[in-house]
Amino acid sequence: MTAVVPEPVVPEPVEGPVEAPAVEPFDAVDVIRTKRDGGAVPDDALRWMIDAYTREYVADSQMAAFAMAVLLNGMTRDEIRVMTDAMIASGERMSFAGLGKRTVDKHSTGGVGDKITLPLAPLVASFGVAVPQLSGRGLGHTGGTLDKLESIPGWRAALSNDEMTAQLRGVGAVICAAGSGLAPADKRLYALRDVTGTVEAIPLIASSIMSKKIAEGTDALVLDVKFGSGAFMQDVEKARELARTMVALGTDSGVATTALLTDMNTPLGLAIGNANEVRESIEVLAGGGPADVVELTVALAREMLALAGLPDADVEAALRDGRAMDAWREMIRAQDGDPDAALPTPRETHVVTASAAGVVTRLEALPFGIAAWRLGAGRARAQDPVVHAAGIDLHVKPGDAVTAGQPLFTLLADDENRFARALDAVEGAWEIGAVAPSPSPLVLERITA
């Protein structure tokens, strides 16, 4: 038997000059080694690393090693600034320069029951300031502002840049989806950090958040950096370091930036979910609402208005006299929502009552956030839909006296089969005792450049 020898493949002759592969000015492995050994990466090498990663020349495996080196060894203020700049340069940069109004944005690091953007944006806009609030959808136990607003029949999250500018010029407040053109390097890097245990690195969080905010083109920015059980940063020291890093980054980039360090050990307000959080926001805009939601809305509005040159604005008056509510109604209508339409209500409810009389000493944010998520208010995967009527209505907060049998909270869902896992999540997450807890401040500290 004779072996069959394959014919050699002769390449076809190529017409014209052959393009040599571009010569890259750095090696990813050198950048990784520098950071691994605790050094500072030179500016041009760091810019190249981010650019080459966006071009998919630097591999995910190399960027993962670099992110881990950053998590372990940190970055200098200069490196964080260069990294942020490089991420901004990876995409489009918006500008509201022709608007004729000052623009001020707010960013929260996320928490349970955090619906503050909803009353805050129209409240600040009612003073003639433009609020371009590019928001996201929720993933995991912290809800997304767009998911909440999509409870309103007809409301539309996607706006073109022209629509956004027109709305800022007219109504003043816009809450809409961030386009994919802003800081695409961050989009890739954030997804990679999520699966490589490198989300928690402060330089990476700070550059991720601030690259998007600076690229958005706002004149000023107020950061709500949360600490505690329901926050991204549970430890107050870490939250403070993150806040200082982001304030420095904003300031260095010419965006007037301040931060409030706020407590997220207990859910904010009484509503955790989507439609119920919209209802609670409307109560605040009508001059009522839970004290903590009002306090934080007012504190952040004062910060934003001070940065916009209105330090003496009477924020409470705009909530009392309906100006903020008028701006809300206009903002919702401008995005095709019906501010008078009924909001979705749940098909099933389950009430949990107090087993004994006493005072609520503890009600932890994280387990309640997880329970609301399991009820359908949040999503496990980016492509999942949310159930707008799902969530939790709290009837009490720490410090409230209760009698035996009094309702503590109500679970809301479209399917009663969801209740068991939600109840598992909140097992041991609240406590009724004899002595009221000593009050702790909601706004712990103000951080400026």
Q: Helices then strands (H, E): number in the chain?
A: 16, 13
Residue (138 or 367) nearer to ligand URA, CB: 138
Strands 220-227 and 104-108: parallel
Q: Based on CB atoms, which residue is closest to ligand URA, 130 or 209? A: 209
Catalytic annotation, pick one of 85, 114, 186, 393: 186
| DSSP letter, residue 181 | T
90 vs 208, beta carbon nearer ligand URA:
208
Considering beta carbons, is residue 204 or 313 the nearer one to ligand URA?
A: 204
Window 169-198: residues binding ligand URA (CB under 6 A)? 190
Stretch that binds ligand URA, among 77-85, 125-133, 202-210, 340-348 (CB under 6 A): 202-210
For residue 93, indicate whether it is catalytic.
no
Q: Quick one: which of 94, 129, 134, 209 contacts ligand URA (CB under 6 A)? A: 209
* CA 383 to centroid of chain Cα atoms: 18
Q: With respect to ligand URA, which residue has the nearer C-beta, 205 or 425?
A: 205
| Smallest separation (angstroms) from ligand URA to the CB of 109 | 6
Q: Please give the span between the terminal C-alpha atoms of the chain, in angstroms, as a whole number.
A: 84
Place of tokens 């767009």: 146
Q: Is 180 a catalytic residue?
A: no
Which residue out of 35, 47, 187, 193 is catalytically annotated?
Answer: 193
Of 108, 208, 211, 281, catalytic: 208
CB 327 within 8 A of CB 122: yes
Number of residues in contact with ligand URA under rule CB under 6 A:
5
Query: According to the 3-state scheme, what is the secondary structure of 228-282?
Result: CCCCCECCHHHHHHHHHHHHHHHHHCCCEEEEEEEECCCCCCCEEECHHHHHHHH
Task: Give catalytic status of residue 208 as yes or no.
Answer: yes
Q: Which of 205, 282, 313, 354 binds ligand URA (CB under 6 A)?
A: 205
Among 35, 47, 81, 107, the active-site one is 107
Q: CA neighbours within 13 Å on the CB side: how many for 426?
A: 27
- How far, rounded to the nearest angstrom, does the alpha carbon of residue 61 sit from its chain's CA centroid? 27
- Determine whether 193 is an active site residue: yes
CA 56 vs CA 28, 52, 53, 130, 297: distances in Å = 12, 6, 5, 37, 42
Q: Which helix (H) or strand (E) holds 402?
A: strand 401-402
- Minimum separation from the CB atom of position 317 to ligand URA (A): 34
For the bound state, the minimum distance from the C-beta of residue 190 to ligand URA, rounded and expressed in Å, comes to 5
Rounded to a whole number of angstroms, the minimum distance from the CB of residue 402 to ligand URA is: 36
Give the whole-angstrom CA distance, residue 285 versus residue 270.
Answer: 15
Residue 78 CB, shortest distance to ligand URA, in Å, is 20
Total residue length of the chain: 449
Residue 85 or 283: which CB sits closer to ligand URA?
85
Contact call for residues 93 and 60 (beta carbons, < 8 A): no
Binding range to ligand URA, per CB under 6 A, among 50-58, 169-177, 200-208, 373-381? 200-208
Among 103, 126, 151, 208, binds ligand URA (CB under 6 A): 208
Give the residue ranges of DSSP H helices in 97-201: 117-125, 145-149, 161-170, 184-194
Any bridge partners for residue 236, and if so which? none
- Span of 201-209, 266-274, 295-303, 365-373 interacting with ligand URA by CB under 6 A: 201-209
284 is a contact residue toward ligand URA (CB under 6 A): no
Q: What are the catalytic residues?
A: 107, 186, 193, 208, 212
- Residues of the shown chain interacting with ligand URA in the complex, contacts defined by CB under 6 A: 190, 204-205, 208-209
